[in-house]
A and B are shown apart, each in its own frame.
Chain A
């Protein structure tokens, strides 16, 4: 079964074609990062306007790269939420129109389920059950994943998301947006142990996170230490964030008695985090899985894949659609 995936929840238009037999056939992405950079952050109205210009050309590109035509598609999946309402609506409308025209089933996918299952697009892929660390620009969660649609939240951030902390730190240090890669790059030339930054809630005894204090510590340090210290601050911040993310992930594995950890979301692209988790994995004898690097941030492939997991009994679309800008992952159920 070949599923067309359409992602448009925020500032990336992602389209992909996934085949349940042959795997990912092609995917294409347009990032709006440069457009929003001039505005200092994502402007929802401009994001929506850009999605509607990009989606079809990307779709044609994906089909061409996969050597397929529209007639080869067996189902369509789009990101139904959570995300920016106008942006979601673009993907939802196009998917639903296309579904009616081709008389195909259409499913709305939860964006975070997309992220959560994206490591299953890698080789080797993890078996269920596993512990998932979901770390993106909007989310920081530890989840127990028993199967598709069977998710139990074990802990989450009480304030900023980890990606947000990277982005805000980048801003404080005068780096661009998105901040994650920029902070990581600057950190490479800094001394992570020059300044001692806090590890918020590392020993709180639960699996929750907090990153706003770390951001404040960066601000204070920057004011005190001056501009020359930026690389050392970036390195110190990155190490603190990684310490907390890794520490809590280990605690979650211990608490569940599981030996598989899956890392998903944009911050999962961070090399220091990967190095640390890989080292812990070989030392402690658990396995750690990541999505392919290109599929860490928002993309259509994860939506096509998550959609494919939910198609089994789907009927052709009746054309009604709706979006869910706010949508808790815990509301999902396993497919019937």
Chain B
């Protein structure tokens, strides 16, 4: 199975090719230059592998949560590529990519969501995959939902931005922290491969970001 994967949910812009279990990847701290970097990264990878899009089995993108601008670029590019190459698409939850990259059994993920909030979720490793214990949500750092037991690795930029409130919120449940780990396309590819295998690829039209933060404005009648 051959998959193109990319992630633009954070300031790290990355792309990867999954070639039957082998991974080629590129990444760069992009600031706000994802729109300049992403597609050249992708064409570069394809060239290196001697492949064209049409030879792939699917396209996977980090669907969020994350920066809205980043999610739009990732999803839009996924839609355009998949439409043109007639390939199925899967969206991978950014927090899952973080959890699998951490490489531990129990990951409590908190990604900085700005506005004094984090996107958080908790995952437990099972075989090559993950089981979601606490689903993605957006919370104040001192209000994130918590697992009952201990031994969790706190990962993601939330633990850098809101270190104090998160450590006091989590208390004894945290066994350690890895704040500087970013969602990466290689992780997107690893998570997407079994999804494509299970027939979960969808037509390009259905690719949509997972914003999590959904209340973005008040209706006139709510003001």
Binding site for B on A (CB under 8 A): 38-40, 43, 45-46, 48-49, 52-53, 55-57, 59-60, 70, 85-86, 89-102, 317-323
Contact = CB atoms under 8 A, between A and B. Distances in A.
Nearest to B223: A40
Given A45-B68, A52-B75, A86-B68, A321 B35 contact: yes
B74 to A, nearest CB: 8
B43 interface: yes
What does DSSP make chain B's interface, helix, strand, loop or mixed? Answer: helix
Most buried by A among B38, B40, B53, B69: B38
B40 A101 contact: no
B77 interface: yes
A48 B38 CA distance: 20
Contacts of A101: 53, 80-85
Contact of A319 (B40, B76, B78): B40
Most buried by A among B40, B68, B80, B219: B80
Contacts of A92: 35, 76
Contact of B218 (A39, A96, A99): A39
Given A96-B77, A320-B36, A56 B217 contact: no
Contacts of B39: 96-97, 100, 317-321
The 9 closest A-B pairs by CB, nearest first: A97-B80, A93-B76, A319-B39, A101-B84, A98-B80, A97-B77, A56-B205, A97-B81, A94-B80
B198 interface: no
Given A56-B83, A96-B39, A322-B35, A45 B217 contact: yes
Interface of B: 35-36, 38-40, 42-43, 53, 68-69, 72-73, 75-85, 204-205, 208-209, 211, 216-221
10 contacts: A46-B217, A49-B209, A52-B75, A86-B69, A92-B35, A93-B80, A97-B82, A100-B42, A317-B39, A321-B39
A59 B80 CA distance: 11
Nearest to A76: B80
B208 A53 contact: yes
Contacts of B83: 56, 59, 70, 94, 97-98, 101
Contact of A94 (B53, B76, B216): B76
Most buried by A among B79, B209, B211, B220: B79
A55 B73 contact: no
Contacts of A56: 79, 83, 204-205
A57 B39 CA distance: 23
Contact of B76 (A57, A97, A102, A322): A97
Contacts of B53: 100-101
Contacts of B217: 39, 43, 45-46
A38 B217 CA distance: 10
